[in-house]
Amino acid sequence: MQGRIVALSCGTYSIDVDGVIFHAPARGIFRSRNIKPTVGDYVEINDNSYIIEKVFDRVNYLKRPPIANIDQMLIIESLKEPEFSYLLAFKYLTYANMNNIKAKIILTKLDKQDDLTLIDEIKNTYSALGIEVYVVSNKTKVGLDEIRHLFKDHITCLIGQSGVGKSSLINSIDPDYERRVNDYSKALGRGKHQTKEVILLPYEGGYIADTPGFSSLELDLFKEDLAQFYPGFAEKFTNCYYSNCLHITENRCTVKEALQKGEYPQIAYDCYLKLSEQSIYKNKRYER
Ligand SMILES: Nc1nc2c(ncn2[C@@H]2O[C@H](COP(=O)(O)OP(=O)(O)OP(=O)(O)O)[C@@H](O)[C@H]2O)c(=O)[nH]1
Ligand SMILES: [Mg+2]
Ligand SMILES: [Zn+2]
């Protein structure tokens, strides 16, 4: 029989076969072939031994958080505790583009943020790049009705640092899930890493993946990947004069031309410069 891995705990996989959950280990052979069945994988289970025998080809695979076959990423950022970070949002968006996954942004903790100009600025910046931004409060429940439709028939991965309210968001849209949540620690300046494992929860004909939060430092992107996959760069990149253009010091760069004409948001470009500066070259040949 065939099904989808929805959880992995202590070496045992939970597999959803037409709505019934089976628990199964993986065949030892996978390790030697360097295949590690992952949450999201579509697999074949032996009807007698209940062991996972085959992992079907993946549409995509993320190393961080470990998950396969998702068709949308919802980037979760809180407006306060922790503060909204453009850098992090742009990093996640680049990561989504690299993996050919559509992404949208959900801002949480609206109840904690009085600065509506910040929300407008965030919305304007991303709408100029064709990226949708939704604003919710898991406390007052404002904005939740506007996001429910996003999940229908999709396999959605929630991604964002610890404490932003990923698990809270799942509880808000379906209180039956009772996902455990933990306080944001003001002393530590971050969440307390409540969610430890990736899990797929069935919702509206699809699944929502709750995932452990991780910080910006734990997601490494190379300079070349940023230059190619940064939001809004894809179409322009191919038209730059240099095929390995980093859109920084080069002449005849279509990204910089768009920026000068006001067609590319300055905030986005400033974050690009910072992210590029923080990252290293994939190809040593280009080091200058
Ligand atoms: N005021 C307010 N608090 C919220 C909101 N959303 C989440 N929280 C609180 O933020 C804290 C962290 O929420 P979690 O849902 O555990 O965050 P998470 O993103 O799942 O964190 P990890 O599992 O550690 O990655 C909890 O104390 C929640 O009650 C919101 O919209 N408003
Ligand atoms: Mg969580
Ligand atoms: Zn360029």
pLDDT band at 67 (very low <50, low <70, confident <90, very high): very high
Provide the total of helices (H) and of strands (E) in the chain, helices listed first: 8, 15
Average pLDDT of the chain to the nearest whole number = 93
Amino acid in the structure at residue 119: I
Q: In terms of C-beta density within 10 A (0-12 exposed, 13-18 middle, 19 or more buried), how is residue 61 classed?
A: middle
67-76, 229-238, 249-258, range with the lowest pLDDT: 229-238
CATH number of 2-57: 2.40.50.140
User: How do strand 20-24 and strand 155-159 relate by DSSP bridges?
Assistant: unpaired
Domain with CATH 1.10.40.50 in the chain: 220-286
User: Angle at the Cα of 73 (from 282 to 202), degrees rounded to 5?
Assistant: 135
Ligand 1 atom closest to the Cα of residue 112 is 1
For residue 168, the ligand 1 atom closest to its alpha carbon is: 15
Cis bond upstream, residue 82 (ω within 30): yes
Q: For residue 97, what is the enclosing H or E element?
A: helix 86-98
Distance, CA of 95 to chain centre: 7
Confidence bin at 207 (pLDDT 50/70/90): very high
pLDDT of residue 121: 97
Q: How far is the CA of 108 from the centre of ligand 3 (A)?
A: 34
CA of 198 to the centre of ligand 3 (A): 37
For residue 239 the two structure tokens come to 């038209």
238 vs 139, more confident? 139
Dihedral, CA of residue 18, residue 19, residue 21 and residue 24, to nearest 10: 20
Q: Within the chain, which residue ranges are assigned CATH 2.40.50.140? A: 2-57
Q: Which residue in 195, 211, 205 sits closest to 150, CA to CA?
A: 205
The CATH number corresponding to 62-217 among 3.80.30.20, 3.40.47.10, 3.40.50.2300, 3.40.50.300 equals 3.40.50.300
In the three-class reduction of DSSP (H, G, I as helix; E, B as strand; rest coil), residue 239 is classed as coil
Q: What are the two backbone dihedrals, phi and then psi, of residue 14, each rounded to the nearest 5 degrees?
A: -105, 125
Tell the residue number behind the tokens 């280009």, with chain if given.
286
Q: Where in the chain is the domain with CATH 3.40.50.300?
A: 62-217
- Closest of 285, 278, 283, 270 to residue 125, by C-alpha: 270
Alpha carbon distances (Å) from 81 to 73, 107, 113, 122, 189? 22, 12, 10, 17, 8
- Measured in Å, residue 76 CA sits from the centre of ligand 2 at 11
pLDDT band at 283 (very low <50, low <70, confident <90, very high): confident
Decide yes or no: CATH 1.10.40.50 for domain 220-286. Answer: yes
Residues with CB under 6 A from ligand 1: 108-109, 111-112, 137-139, 160, 162-168, 181-184, 191, 193-195, 212-213
Query: Cis (ω within 30 of 0) for the bond into 65?
Result: yes
